[in-house]
Amino acid sequence: MSTVNKTAMFTLSYGLFVLSAQFDGKDNACIINTAQMVTDSPMRITVAVNKQNYTHDMIVKTGKFNISVISQKAQFDLFSHFGFSSGRDTDKLASFSDIQRSENGLVYVTKGTNAFISAEVETTLDCGTHTLFIAKVSEAEKISDDESATYDYYFKHIKPAPEKKQTDAKVWVCKICGYVYDESKEAVPFEDLPDDWTCPWCKHPKSDFELK
């Protein structure tokens, strides 16, 4: 029988992006690692977005989104601001000033990024937990010449290293997306989190975490 070694999947490389959309006058954005160009003529990109993300629902309703490509100059607070809370209960853009609007009216992030791409959905593919949006590029522009941040770069150089503390704090890692729950930096020990707590990034349940 064939085996699936999940660590083999970690050898794939990914960029990191702020995915933004707008519905009913409200802006929202989240962090994804799944944007890529699929065709050149016409220029098309794909994004796979978790259905539990509020931004996902906005894209389904409007067929429009922006991608801001995160660069190596990005600070950790960009990731915590857009990645660690849900737009369902917070207005992530109200407290964020490093944005501009593209011609489609949607926001893009101007700091810690090197380009933005606006796209209009042509095809939607239901992938279970995620929806794959295939979209035509309507506008795209460089923001800086800084290099793009890969997922690997983020973990090695942007995400703060866990502080070495003399405690029995444990480090839990999401087997799906690599999100790290470091008890020494959290108010609540992992095992005390509610049963319906989900990974801030990939929304998978607590059971998909393992001790580091």
Q: Copy the structure tokens of residue 20.
A: 């933004």
Least distance CB 195 / Fe ion (angstroms): 16
Sign of CA dihedral 183, 187, 191, 197: negative
120 or 208: CB nearest Fe ion: 208
CB 22 within 8 A of CB 105: yes
- Give me the count of residues in the chain: 212
Number of residues located near Fe ion, criterion CB under 5 A = 7
Nearest-angstrom CA–CA distance, 193 and 68 = 32
Q: Copy the structure tokens of residue 23.
A: 């519905």
Residues 152-191, one symbol each (x = binds Fe ion by CB under 5 A, - = not), give ----------------------x-xx-x------------
Residues 115-144, one symbol each (x = binds Fe ion by CB under 5 A, - = not), give ------------------------------
60 or 176: CB nearest Fe ion: 176
30 or 174: CB nearest Fe ion: 174
Least distance CB 37 / Fe ion (angstroms): 25
Nearest-angstrom CA–CA distance, 183 and 61 = 38
Least distance CB 179 / Fe ion (angstroms): 4
For 91, 151, 197, the CA distances from 113, given in Å and listed in that order, are 21, 14, 30
Which residues of the chain form contacts with Fe ion (CB under 5 A)?
Answer: 174, 176-177, 179, 199, 201-202
